[in-house]
Structure 1
Amino acid sequence: MSSGFPGSDKRISLQEMVARVPDGASLALGGSFLHRGPFAFVRELIRQKKSDLEIIKQSPGYDIDILCRAGTVRKLRAGIVAMEGNFGLAPYYRKAVEGGTLELEEHACYSLTAGLRAAAYGIPFQPCAGLHGSDLPELNGWKLIEDPYGSQEAVWAVPAIQPDFAVLQASEVDEKGNVRIAGTYHWDHIMSRAAKSVLVVAEKVVEEGVFTAVPEATVVPYFMVEAYAVVPGGAWPGSCWPEYGIDYPAVEAYLEADAGALARHLAKGPELQPQEKGNGQ
Structure 2
Amino acid sequence: MTDSKIISLDALTRLVNDGSSLALGGSFLHRGPFAFVRELIRQRKRELEIIKQSPGYDIDILCRAGCVASTRAGIVAMEGNFGLAPYYRRAVEQQQIVLEEHACASLTAGLRASAFGVPFQPCGGLHGSALPELNGWKKLPDPYGSDEETYVIPRITPDFAVIHANEVSPEGDVRVFGTSHWDRIMTRAARRVLVIAERVASSESFSRQPELTLVPHFLVEAIAVVPQGAWPGSCWPHYEVDYPAVEAYLPEGDDVLAAHLAQAPEAKETTHA
TM range, smaller chain: over 0.9
Q: 1:68 aligns with which of 42, 63, 69?
A: 63
| Percent identity for Structure 1 against Structure 2 | 67
Q: 1:175 aligns with which of 158, 170, 173?
A: 170
Corresponding pairs, count: 270
**TM-superposed deviation, 1:39:** 0.2
**TM-superposed deviation, 1:8:** 2.3
**TM-superposed deviation, 1:151:** 1.1
CA distance in 2, matches of 1:259, 1:160: 38
Q: In the alignment, is the contact (CA less than 8 A) between 2:25 and 2:181 conserved in 1?
A: no
Q: 2:205 aligns with which of 183, 202, 210?
A: 210
Match of 1:165? 160
CA distance in 1, matches of 2:101, 2:185: 19
Match of 2:19? 24
Asked whether 1:196 is paired with 2:184, we answer no
Partner SS for 2:254: coil
Match of 1:223? 218
**TM-superposed deviation, 1:100:** 0.4
Match of 1:278? none
Match of 1:265? 260
Where do 1:79-228 residues align within 5 Å? 79-228=74-223
Look up the equivalent residue of 1:125 and give its one-letter code.
F
Partner SS for 2:200: coil
TM-score by length of 1: 0.95
Distance 1:234 1:174, change over 3 A: same
CA distance in 2, matches of 1:98, 1:7: 48
Structure 1, gaps ≥5 residues long: 1-5, 276-281
CA distance in 1, matches of 2:87, 2:240: 24
**TM-superposed deviation, 1:186:** 4.1
Deviation digits for residues 136-172 of structure 1, max 9, x if unmatched?
Answer: 0000000010011111110001000000000000000
**TM-superposed deviation, 1:274:** 4.5
TM-score by length of 2: 0.97
Deviation digits for residues 24-69 of structure 1, max 9, x if unmatched?
Answer: 0000000000000000000000000000000000000000000000
Partner SS for 1:260: helix
Q: In the alignment, is the contact (CA less than 8 A) between 2:27 and 2:181 conserved in 1?
A: no
Consecutive aligned runs of 4 or more in structure 1 exceeding 4 Å deviation = none
Asked whether 1:232 is paired with 2:227, we answer yes
